[in-house]
Structure 1
Amino acid sequence: MMRVWRLYREKVIISIVLGLIVAVRGDAQSFSLSNNVVYSATLTPNLGFETRVDSTWTVGLWGGFRPWPTDDKALRKYRHLSLDLYTRKWTRGTPWRGFYYGFDALWIHYNLSNLKLNYFGMFGDARHRRMQGNLYGGGSFAGYAWDLGSGFGVDVQTGVDLSWTRYRVYDCVHCGAPVARKNKVYLLPKAAVDLVYSF
């Protein structure tokens, strides 16, 4: 039973969170969809869904998924799945307009190899080896949203997450047993430029 729970716990948690978000409020002008164009520039499809809790608070779930290269024998890998559950406080009293601040909880599953980027010391082991693991984090952020009319808007934000990752290191991109298991803690900065549609 514990093995089954370990295999499906993320899916169960995501389903519960999505159900809660949808159940919070169901009237018009209370939802938004967003796409982080900074994240899209890394060829990672992503989408955020957010709903109003009251006149000043919203809660949302954002995710990105980069499945390629799908060939396990490819030398360079940057495959990952990320989910970010967040809440925002809108200082003007109207969601999706003006200044806001918020808090988030982050989870990322990644499979990386032959990467030349180091991103604040996180991916050093992936330069000549493969690393695969999970990252968990939580933090805060702030930003500003512009209403462009007809439900469309632009949202910019920056923040930081205190994150912990546990991963395995492999000698090659497609091989058996790991050569090392590591745990690391990072202060992870983040930035986003979102295109938003609210309805």
Structure 2
Amino acid sequence: MNKKILLSLLLASCCWLGASAQQVAVKTNLLYWATTTPNVGVEFAVSKHSTIGMTANYNPWTIGSDNRIRHWFVRPEYRYWVTEKFTRLYFGVHAIGGKFEVGGFKLPFIGDRILTGLATNYYKGSFVGAGVSIGYQFYVSPHWNIELSAGAGLARLSYHAEPVRGPKAASYTNRSRILPIPTELGVSFVYLFNSKK
């Protein structure tokens, strides 16, 4: 997994160097901040209708004494803009990957349907997947946009469960599952460098 992260950062650096004369955007998703997940994204224009970008999200928190929602993930994405880059409607394809440690609470609405025993166990593992997205950017000023986005896809989870309370085992058996997951849900502030608007 570390090799994939380094490769992604190298790709982003190369894009940054190659996009010095192009339009570049930096963004943050307010909905992720609402779930106590700091996040940042960068996006580069590669043609009139195409952009490539990467978002990184990190949540190191334990809420209360037992409730953990620790995770990190990255999401590289290609977007095709119907009108023009960073303007109005887009369609995207993306990959997603990261690690998680969640548990000690019950999810509202879906309860134990995805990870049984979430209230009494911590689930630790990693995931990798791909998906599609759709979104819309609203013009605010020459350097600012607001973006609405949504995406879904499939992810392969590899994880094991540990009890929230009680003795820990010397080793655990990893399980693997492929699940449909939401890969993006966002209301983001977007700052545009080298704005042509």
Shorter-chain TM band: 0.7 to 0.9
Query: Which of residues 87, 90, 102 in structure 2 aligns to 1:97?
Result: 87
Name the % identity.
Answer: 20
Query: Which of residues 113, 119, 124 in structure 2 aligns to 1:132?
Result: 124
* Shift in CA distance, 153/186, structure 1 to aligned 2, threshold 3 Å: same
1:151 aligns with 2:151: no
* Shift in CA distance, 124/186, structure 1 to aligned 2, threshold 3 Å: same
Query: Which of residues 57, 62, 69 in structure 1 aligns to 2:50?
Result: 57
**Aligned counterparts, 1:13-24, within 5 A:** 13-24=7-18
The equivalent residue for 1:3 is none
* Shift in CA distance, 18/102, structure 1 to aligned 2, threshold 3 Å: same
The equivalent residue for 2:21 is 27
Residue pair 1:168, 1:178 contacting (<8 A) in 2 also: no
1:192 aligns with 2:182: no
The equivalent residue for 1:175 is 168
Number of residue pairs matched?
189
The equivalent residue for 2:97 is 107
Q: Secondary structure at the match of 1:96?
A: coil
The equivalent residue for 2:114 is 122
The equivalent residue for 2:32 is 39
Q: Give the TM-score normalised by the residue count of structure 1.
A: 0.86
* Shift in CA distance, 60/120, structure 1 to aligned 2, threshold 3 Å: farther
Q: Secondary structure at the match of 1:38?
A: helix
Cα deviation 1:4-61 (Å, max 9, x = unaligned) = xx6x324422332222321331115x11111111111101110110011111100000
Cα deviation 1:74-105 (Å, max 9, x = unaligned) = 4111100110000100111x211111101000
Residue pair 1:31, 1:51 contacting (<8 A) in 2 also: yes
Cα deviation 1:118-157 (Å, max 9, x = unaligned) = 4894343422111100111101111111110131111111
* Shift in CA distance, 113/49, structure 1 to aligned 2, threshold 3 Å: same
CA RMSD of aligned residues (A): 2.3
Residue pair 2:112, 2:118 contacting (<8 A) in 1 also: no
1:83 aligns with 2:74: yes
Structure 1 residue 70: Cα displacement = 9.5
Structure 1 residue 110: Cα displacement = 0.3
Q: Give the TM-score normalised by the residue count of structure 2.
A: 0.86
Structure 1 residue 197: Cα displacement = 0.7
Q: Work out the CA distance in 2 between the residues paired with 1:184 and 1:109.
A: 14
Q: Work out the CA distance in 2 between the residues paired with 1:20 and 1:177.
A: 43
Cα deviation 1:156-199 (Å, max 9, x = unaligned) = 11221111100011123683434442111111124211111111
Q: Secondary structure at the match of 2:17?
A: helix
Amino acid in the other structure paired with 2:8: I
